[in-house]
A and B are shown apart, each in its own frame.
Chain A
Amino acid sequence: GEDVEQSLFLSVREGDSSVINCTYTDSSSTYLYWYKQEPGAGLQLLTYIFSNMDMKQDQRLTVLLNKKDKHLSLRIADTQTGDSAIYFCAETTSGTYKYIFGTGTRLKVLA
């Protein structure tokens, strides 16, 4: 079945860039999403990209999609302590109702 994989942890220094990676298996994925989860809270949608795009930029966030390798990344520029959270990537395919989530990457920002 479909699978989405992420590394579990990432640690960066405040002010550096963070890059969170995600790989997926479903070649028919239509939309790919990035969510942020702070402790004890629900998931907050950060950004998403349609599969016919290679890149999307939104302020400090840059999403890169390599459809050939089924690889998605989220780059956070000038990472701040408030960016410390768990980041989930997710994918869905047009015509289905299911969204497949990765296991999440815990980002720790060191002051």
Chain B
Amino acid sequence: SQTIHQWPATLVQPVGSPLSLECTVEGTSNPNLYWYRQAAGRGLQLLFYSVGIGQISSEVPQNLSASRPQDRQFILSSKKLLLSDSGFYLCAWTTQGSQPQHFGDGTRLSIL
């Protein structure tokens, strides 16, 4: 069966520090991968998606970036965090096509 892992579960970082969040999927090949951010009490904002290794589509201009170094690994990064980067970050995957997305457990990021 397929599983998705996100880590860390929680993270507290100072303003201006770098960021690296990791997401891996097991049990499937060539998934479409997604990063979302959820602000407190709000819906999901799509940040990045990837349909293949090295292929990244950015939805929102910001100081975040994403990379897909391996087929089932998706990384969200920042060189310098802003206060506005606080939120709940969710990784999701789907098979090719319009199949349902499956989500990880999320990373709660707090910026001080």
Q: Are A40 and B108 CB-contacts (below 8 A) given A33-B100, A93-B98, A97-B49?
A: yes
Task: Establish whether residues A101 and B51, one from each chain, have CB atoms under 8 Å apart when the complex forms.
Answer: no
Task: Establish whether residues A43 and B103, one from each chain, have CB atoms under 8 Å apart when the complex forms.
Answer: yes
Q: Are A42 and B105 CB-contacts (below 8 A) given A97-B49, A98-B46, A101-B44?
A: yes
Residues on the A chain within 8 Å of B102, using CB:
45
Interchain residue pairs with CB less than 8 A apart (7) = A30-B98, A41-B106, A42-B104, A43-B101, A43-B103, A45-B102, A98-B59
| Minimum CB distance partner of A8 in chain B | B41
| Minimum CB distance partner of A6 in chain B | B43
Determine whether B28 belongs to the interface, using a CB cutoff of 8 Å to chain A: no
Task: Establish whether residues B32 and A97, one from each chain, have CB atoms under 8 Å apart when the complex forms.
Answer: yes
Interface residues of A (CB under 8 A from B): 30-31, 33, 35, 40-45, 48, 88, 90, 92-94, 96-99, 101-104
| Minimum CB distance partner of B102 in chain A | A45
Chain B nearest Cβ from A95, distance in angstroms: 8
Task: Establish whether residues A98 and B49, one from each chain, have CB atoms under 8 Å apart when the complex forms.
Answer: yes
Chain A nearest Cβ from B32, distance in angstroms: 6
Task: Establish whether residues A94 and B104, one from each chain, have CB atoms under 8 Å apart when the complex forms.
Answer: no
Q: Beyond the given A97-B32, A97-B51, please list 19 additional residue pairs across the A-B interface where CB-CB is below 8 A.
A: A31-B100, A33-B101, A40-B106, A40-B108, A42-B6, A42-B105, A42-B106, A43-B44, A43-B101, A44-B103, A90-B101, A93-B98, A94-B98, A96-B98, A97-B49, A97-B57, A98-B49, A99-B34, A102-B43
